[in-house]
Structure 1
Amino acid sequence: MAQTVIKKSVLVLHSAEKMFQLVDTVEDYPQFLPWYGKTEVISRENNELKARLYIDYMGINQSFATHNINQPPHQIRMNLLEGPFKSLHGTWTFTPLGDDCQIQFELHYELMGLLSRIISPVFSVVTSKLVDAFIQEANRRYA
Structure 2
Amino acid sequence: MSEYRESRDVPYTPAQMFDLVADIERYPDFVPGYVRARVIDRRDETLLVDQIVGLMGVHYGFRSVATLGRPERLRVRSSDRPFRHLEIDWRFTPRSSDRAHVELVLRYELRRGMVRRLGGLWLQPMARRILQAFLDRARAVYGPVD
The TM-score normalised by the length of structure 1 is 0.91
In structure 2, the residue matched to 1:112 is: 111
SS of equivalent to 2:71 = coil
Q: What displacement does 1:25 show? A: 0.5
Determine the C-alpha separation between the residues in 2 that align with 1:108 and 1:34: 18
In structure 2, the residue matched to 1:60 is: 58
How many pairs were matched up? Answer: 141
Gap regions ≥5 residues in structure 2: none
For the aligned residue pairs, the C-alpha RMSD in angstroms reads 1.4
Residues 57 and 90 (structure 1), Cα distance of their counterparts in 2 relative to 1, 3 Å cut:
closer
| Equivalent residue runs for 1:45-124 within 5 Å | 45-97=43-95, 98-114=97-113, 115-124=115-124
Q: What displacement does 1:83 show? A: 2.2
In structure 2, the residue matched to 1:37 is: 35
SS of equivalent to 1:40 = strand
Q: What displacement does 1:34 show? A: 3.5
Determine the C-alpha separation between the residues in 1 that align with 2:50 and 2:14: 24
Q: Percent identity?
A: 27
The TM-score normalised by the length of structure 2 is 0.89
Determine the C-alpha separation between the residues in 2 that align with 1:24 and 1:10: 18
Q: What displacement does 1:118 show? A: 2.4
Task: Please say which of residues 90-99 and 22-31 is displaced more in the overlay.
Answer: 90-99
SS of equivalent to 2:67 = strand
Q: Over residues 50-93 of structure 1, what are the superposed CA-to-partner deviations in whole Å (9 max), with x where a residue is unaligned?
A: 11221124312112221111111110112115121111113100
Q: Is the 8 A contact 2:32 2:129 kept in 1?
A: no
Any runs of at least 4 consecutive aligned residues in structure 1 with deviations exceeding 4 A, and if so which? none
Determine the C-alpha separation between the residues in 2 that align with 1:85 and 1:53: 13
Determine the C-alpha separation between the residues in 1 that align with 2:16 and 2:121: 31
In structure 2, the residue matched to 1:130 is: 130
Q: Is the 8 A contact 1:67 1:81 kept in 2?
A: no
Q: What displacement does 1:130 show? A: 0.6
Q: Is the 8 A contact 2:32 2:130 kept in 1?
A: no
